[in-house]
Amino acid sequence: MDSHGQYEQQVVWAVVDTGIGPLLLAATRAGLVNVVFHADEPVRGKALRRLADRLGAEPVESPGSPLLREAIRQVDAYFAGERRDFELPLDWSLISGFNRQVLRELASGVPYGAVVGYGDLARRVGQPGAAQAVGTAMGANPLPVVVPCHRVVESDGGIGGFGGGLEAKRRLLALEGVLPEPLF
C-alpha cells in the first residue's frame, strides 16, 4: 500500500519463446494486460516504457510471479497444440470504447479454428458500417493471440493485416487448422 492506503499498481512481465518468436507478457493484479510481438531487447524496452507511462508503475521482470505463471503455461500449451482457449483474467485498462467492445466480442464469440470478417464483426457489435473501425480495433489490440485478432480476415478471402506480421498470422491460423502449414 502507498502512504494513502491505496494499493500501488503492480506490473510484472516475462518473455516467452513461441512458434512465432518471443512474446512479452505483462500482467497487473487485474490480469494479463499486454502481449507484445517480436519481444527482442529494443522492442521490449519500448513496450515496457509505454506500459510504465500508461499504467503509472515501473514493470518488473518476474516470470515466476503468480500473476504470470498461469499465462505462461497457457501460452506454451497453445503453441504446443494442447490448448484451444485461454482461461485467464484480462486487464482491459489499455483499451476502451468501441475498440474494447469489438475485442470483447472477438474474445467471446470467435472460437479456435474459426475466422470472422471485419464487416461481420462490426455487425455483431451493432455497427454494420464500421468494418474499417474494426480493423483499427484489431491494430490497437493490447492482447494479441490471447484476444485472437489473427482470426479476423477480409470478406473477400484475403488474410488482412496483422500487427505481428502476416507470417505470424499465417502460422497462428495454420496452428488452429484454418490454413495449411507453411511448406518452408
Q: Is residue 149 annotated as part of the catalytic site, yes or no?
A: yes
> Quick one: pLDDT band at residue 22, thresholds 50, 70, 90?
very high
**Among 35, 149, 152, 172, which one carries the catalytic annotation?**
149
pTM over the 0.85 mark: yes
Distance CA 58, CA 70 (A): 22
pLDDT in tens, 44-74: 999 999 999 999 999 999 999 988 999 999 9
Residue 8 has what pLDDT?
65
Phi, psi of 105 (to 5 degrees): -65, -45
Can you give the pLDDT at residue 158? Answer: 87
Task: Quote the cell numbers at residue 15.
Answer: 518473455
Task: Using DSSP, state whether 176 is helix, strand or coil.
Answer: coil
CB 92 within 8 A of CB 146: no
Write b or e for each residue in 18-29: b if 16 or more Cβ atoms lie within 10 A of its Cβ, otherwise e: bebbbbbbbbbe
